[in-house]
Amino acid sequence: MDVKAEEAGLRPDPSATTVVRGPGSVAGQGQLFADAHSGYADTNKIPAVGNGRERGGYGRPRTSTFLRVAVVIVALAVVAGAVTLGLVKAGVIDKTGGGKSAAPPAHHQAALAPTSPLVTQVSTGNGTATYNVGIAAYQVTVTTTTGRSWVSIGGTGQHPAYAGILQPNSSQKEVLLGASQVDIGAGGTKVAITSGHRTTTLTPPSAPFTYQFQLKT
Asked if 179 and 155 touch (Cβ cutoff 8 Å), the reply is yes
List the one residue out of 188, 155, 196, 195 whose CA is nearest residue 171.
Answer: 188
Q: What are phi and psi of 87, to 5 degrees?
A: -65, -35
Domain ranges of the chain: 119-215
CATH architecture assigned to 119-215: Sandwich (2.60)
The amino acid at 161: A
Identity (one letter) of the amino acid at 71? V
Tell me phi and psi for residue 47, to 5 degrees. Answer: -60, 140
Cis? peptide before 117, omega within 30° of 0: no
User: pLDDT tens track of the chain, all 217 residues?
Assistant: 454 545 545 555 555 444 444 444 444 444 444 444 444 445 555 555 455 444 444 555 566 787 888 888 888 887 777 767 766 665 555 555 544 445 555 544 444 445 678 999 999 999 999 999 989 999 999 999 989 999 999 999 999 999 999 999 999 999 999 999 999 998 789 999 999 889 999 999 999 999 999 998 7
Task: Report the C-alpha gap between 142 and 214 in whole angstroms.
Answer: 18
Q: State the distance between the two ends of the chain, measured CA to CA, in whole angstroms.
A: 146
Whole-number Å distance between alpha carbons of 153 and 175: 10
